[in-house]
Amino acid sequence: MRIPAFGVGTFRLQGQVVIDSVRTALELGYRAIDTAQIYGNEAEVGQAIAESGVPRDALFITTKIWVDNYHPDKLIPSLKESLNKLRTEQVDLTLIHWPAPSNGVALADYMAALNEAKAQGLTRQIGVSNFNIAQLKEAMAVVGKDAIATNQIELSPYLQNRSVTAFMKDAGIQVTSYMTLAYGKVLADPVLADIAKRHQATPAQVALAWAMQLGYSVIPSSTKRENLASNLLAQQLVLSAEDMVKIAELERNGREVDPKGLAPDWD
């Protein structure tokens, strides 16, 4: 099953805020929702979905296993707890949230446990997040070359991660871009503003369209209805080859997220 090109993220959204955001997104036509155990909002996401009236089989729900649950004795029970909160018998995609090389659980062990969760029907697909090339190779060796549906990575016009994305393309692993707007920093970029003006679009739409035009999936979040609606229109924006070249030149290794003990040695 293909990873949707466009979805709504829920990072840092809590309580009624995330309920309203997800409910609004579903009203506007979003059908892919990204959450995680550490976000502390799976129950609220589940509530919003249940109250939306959108059939479960029309949705694509992703969650991520937190590092505290990587041990083979904990991973599947924690995923079952996530399913209970999300009010579903199965998610569409479950990711390992961070490689966490120093947390005491070997990559081979938690990938095997994740693969077992798929075998038990708890998740339709499995994948990873924030993995470097060496870790992707190790994960593929454990679960099989074609088993990893995506690697969800920080990726924006300021952090284009070309070595990892090239490896993933060759390996047939979908790129999912998070932080595509770089915490909003790219919204003030004059190059993106100029491109947006020529297309009668917004800088956010340009950044999202850029990622999708490269074949990546995106999961922007917002608490505002107008921004959720505007972001969705990025799917209709077609950038020129010249636009794409100009955005490629914005690369500056502008990483926003790099937690010690969780992150790998970045490629």
Q: Which residues are annotated as a binding site?
A: 97
Give the CA distances from residue 224 to residues 21, 115, 221, in Å, rounded to whole numbers and listed in that order.
Answer: 7, 37, 9
User: Binding site for substrate: which residues?
Assistant: 97
Structure tokens at 152: 């969800």
Q: Is residue 30 annotated as a catalytic residue, yes or no?
A: no
Q: Which of 39, 110, 178, 216 is catalytic?
A: 39
Please tell me the distance from the alpha carbon of residue 191 to that of residue 239, in angstroms, as a whole number. Answer: 13
Please tell me the distance from the alpha carbon of residue 141 to that of residue 76, in angstroms, as a whole number. Answer: 21
Please tell me the distance from the alpha carbon of residue 193 to that of residue 186, in angstroms, as a whole number. Answer: 9
Bridge partner residues of 61 (DSSP): 33
Please tell me the distance from the alpha carbon of residue 153 to that of residue 131, in angstroms, as a whole number. Answer: 8
Please tell me the distance from the alpha carbon of residue 155 to that of residue 147, in angstroms, as a whole number. Answer: 22
Amino acid code (one letter) for 88: T
CB 7 within 8 A of CB 217: yes
Catalytic residue list:
39
